[in-house]
């Protein structure tokens, strides 16, 4: 650095109260661990539900030997064989297990954010301290400008540059820790940063302390992932049905899969409401991006 550039004071502009994670305090207690039924048990339960005349209906909605609307539609569309196939049952059972894994993995995401957040906080404080030292060195240098020779003042420049390099290294370490934090665990300071945000390159480092790819950490996120996954599977295989399968029957099948796996049951109505709300939000977003 030349003497003429001394007026360009370098400074690490980080807030004393800046936080990279929303909180370093523990999140809610870990959810109750639930295990998916073994495959044979899952398969047997699902096939029994599928063969029931009141499939997908509320208790006592179907009287006697009459079939409910969903049971009639399943028989009419010829999808029983598709739903009974080893491929569908195997992939559905795997999706159920993945849902449980994602629920349990959310705890690892929270712990990783707390650990990284504490380290980042220390790194930022160190950068702030180094920045203060740089300003002090610059002030001393300028105060002696009329007293000491340029060769002496060059030592101040060297010290300033060494501290600048140290701060750059610390910022690199901070970036690596920051990239291991899930976006939803970051503090508002980093979420609201502009395009030059130092964590903009992405949040998935080469090695993460957790295995969780969902964009949100809401408690219902794994459940919603499972619902969407099963919905896509059913839409795909129902393309081969003799006639169109209604949405509500598809939702009843999803509910039956979840129930057969031993997970907390979800009603078809709840599943329908989720997709209606999701579709409306997507349509509103599309209109906003591409106004007429």
Given this model, what pLDDT does residue 19 score?
Answer: 39
Tell me if 240 is assigned to some domain: yes
In a domain, 163, yes or no: yes
pTM: 0.74
| Predicted pLDDT at 62 | 55
Whether 163 contacts 90, CB under 8 Å:
no
Confidence at residue 60, expressed as pLDDT on a 0 to 100 scale: 60
User: Rounded to an integer, what distance in angstroms lies between the CA atom of residue 20 and that of residue 114?
Assistant: 9
What's the CA gap between 10 and 26, in Å, rounded? 36
Residue 101 lies in a domain: yes
Look up residue 26 and give its DSSP letter.
-
Residue 240: the pLDDT is: 85
The overall longest dimension of the chain from CA atoms, in Å, is 106
Residue pair 165/139 in contact (Cβ under 8 Å)? The answer is no
Q: 42 and 261 in contact (C-beta within 8 Å)?
A: yes
pLDDT of res. 20: 41
Residue 92 maps to a domain: yes
Total tally of structural domains belonging to the chain: 1
Q: How far apart are CA 82 and CA 186, in angstroms?
A: 44
Tell me whether residue 14 is in a domain: no
Backbone angles phi, psi at 136, to 5 degrees: -65, -40
Residue 3 lies in a domain: no
Question: Which residues, at least 6 apart from 209, have a Cβ–Cβ distance to it below 8 Å?
Answer: 108, 111, 112, 115, 180
Tell me which residue range forms the domain holding 213. 21-289
Contact 210, 113 (CB under 8 A): no
Residue 142 located in a structural domain: yes
Q: Residue 124's closest CA among 188, 174, 164?
A: 174
Low-confidence ranges of the chain (pLDDT < 70): 1-33, 59-65, 188-207, 292
Whether 7 maps to a domain, the answer reads no
Here the tokens at position 89 are 């049952």
pLDDT score of 10 = 40
């Amino acid at each position: 650095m030349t003497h003429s550039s001394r007026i360009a004071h370098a400074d690490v502009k980080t807030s004393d109260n800046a936080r990279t994670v929303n909180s370093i305090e523990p999140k809610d207690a870990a959810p109750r661990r639930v295990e998916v039924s073994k495959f044979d048990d899952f398969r047997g339960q699902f096939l029994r539900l599928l063969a029931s005349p009141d499939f997908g209906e509320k208790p006592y909605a179907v009287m006697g030997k009459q079939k409910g609307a969903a049971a009639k539609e399943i028989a009419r569309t010829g999808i029983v064989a598709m739903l009974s196939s080893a491929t569908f049952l195997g992939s559905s059972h795997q999706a159920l297990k993945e849902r449980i894994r994602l629920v349990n993995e959310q705890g690892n995401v929270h712990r990783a954010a707390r650990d990284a957040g504490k380290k980042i906080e220390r790194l930022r404080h160190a950068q702030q301290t180094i920045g203060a030292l740089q300003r002090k060195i610059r002030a001393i240098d300028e105060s002696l400008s009329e007293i000491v020779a340029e060769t002496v003042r060059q030592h101040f420049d060297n010290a300033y540059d060494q501290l600048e390099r140290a701060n750059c290294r610390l910022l690199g370490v901070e970036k690596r820790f920051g990239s291991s934090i899930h976006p939803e665990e970051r503090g508002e300071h980093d979420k609201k940063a502009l395009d030059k945000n130092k964590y903009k390159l992405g949040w998935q480092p080469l090695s993460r302390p957790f295995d969780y790819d969902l964009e949100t950490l809401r408690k219902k996120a794994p459940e919603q992932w499972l619902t969407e996954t099963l919905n896509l599977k059913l839409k795909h295989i129902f393309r081969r049905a003799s006639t169109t399968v209604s949405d509500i029957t598809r939702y009843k099948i999803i509910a039956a899969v979840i129930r057969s796996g031993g997970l907390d049951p979800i009603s078809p109505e709840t599943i329908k409401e989720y997709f209606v709300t999701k579709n409306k939000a997507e349509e509103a977003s599309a209109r906003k991006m591409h106004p007429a």
